Chains A and B, each alone.
Chain A
């Protein structure tokens, strides 16, 4: 306690000294730094609000400027306002909401299944040697096979309806979630395992209080990759025997040469991708508030 008292006194003294210097020489602020300049910080600095939107906004401005200047072929890349107008038409005609809903539903089902599978498999393989022997190699084999290459097989097995689309999305989602969660689980510091033994934790308590929270950072990395993956898979899948959905809308537009509709589709994908990623980041920051890293 005595040290903390002495630190506080020393701080007060230093503040008083600074105060006197500033009082006597108010213009001297820069000079005060010269005898021993501060080290350059290696952390990227404080986070500014909504900075992540600057890049996309700049890109949009460039696009609008080029269109207005007549530098872009409107048949290939229509102006932003054309895209917005088309989106308005499609929305009021009722096709865009239906397509979005269908796509959202597919992505959500596939994502939910993939998330559950990824977490359950990672826990089973990370917490038991038998589980690891059975699961880890199998998942890595699955990872080595391009998921989109499984489409023909899945159509044969599950029919050409919704089931195979959801199954493919689930696979795209579960792999990064499994890999990152499993890596985080096996990377738990052995010193914490020792601590759990010393503190007499039961196996369940050990999992709940040490393993799961310790693996959360890795899980969130996987989750973000999975969320993006579910949207990526969708574009390809909706080319195949779909009658609605954003991908379907875009490929129809390709047949009729409607580049503005294609851009509407891409825009919606982009917006949803960005929103879902931001939601995951937000949850991540809430849950991992104990972490002090570069990003905080």
Chain B
């Protein structure tokens, strides 16, 4: 469980002066970034800072977006969106197996996210948390080398979110994909990731390695220091009162 030892191997994601712009607005302004295989990275930034644009660029979803630069990403990439994006007309298991086959693999993935027995349910019968678990199972079943997650817990309630954090971390430890988690939640980033990036005006402003053992607690005082550092980078000043 030491992802840092793998840094010597070829990085999973490699960006060199990556630029993306919409009309005359430059959203990504020459980004250089290496993500080693198996590293858990969180990407923070204000809304509109280009977090999603970066993620979509790595996912290859930015058709018709002007840009330049060099980008390498692994072959097997999975994406988890903010909404679970389950097809309402396919049962949960069929949703998990969208684009692949292997009933048993799908069942195993569902069991892994705690949805054993819900294979035949319709997506409309799932709660928000369950739907997002099913979406996680769908991304896992493809055994991704890179997991891209675009604010995957943003729409969940606080309790469900905490449980999902534990689940995501567990799944990461078992399958060891590289993870790029886009989030606006500083605490989420600190608790989950081994490395936190802050995107600011199209560039990576802060690149922070969080060297604390897992599982981490929100109350860990050392994490508090990271937290202050990141909030400062995001331009948030905490009111002492």
Contact = CB atoms under 8 A, between A and B. Distances in A.
A292 B61 CA distance: 31
A209 B101 CA distance: 13
Given A197-B61, A198-B78, A290 B99 contact: no
A78 interface: no
A201 B61 contact: no
Interface residues of A, number: 23
Nearest to B160: A3
B114 A1 contact: yes
Interface string B90-124: 10000000111000000000000010000000111
Contacts of A241: none
A195 B56 CA distance: 12
A201 B90 CA distance: 15
Nearest to A289: B122
Given A1-B114, A3-B163, A201-B98, A209 B87 contact: yes
User: Chain A at the B interface: mostly helix, strand, loop or mixed?
Assistant: helix
Interface string B76-92: 01110101010111100
Contact of A290 (B83, B100, B114, B124): B124
Interface string A188-221: 0001101111111100010001100110100000
B236 interface: no
A191 B83 contact: yes
Contacts of A201: 98-99
Interface of A: 1-3, 191-192, 194-201, 205, 209-210, 213-214, 216, 288, 290-292
A269 B7 CA distance: 77
A235 B203 CA distance: 71
B88 A290 contact: yes
Given A201-B98, A201-B99, A290 B122 contact: yes
A2 B160 CA distance: 10
A1 B138 CA distance: 20
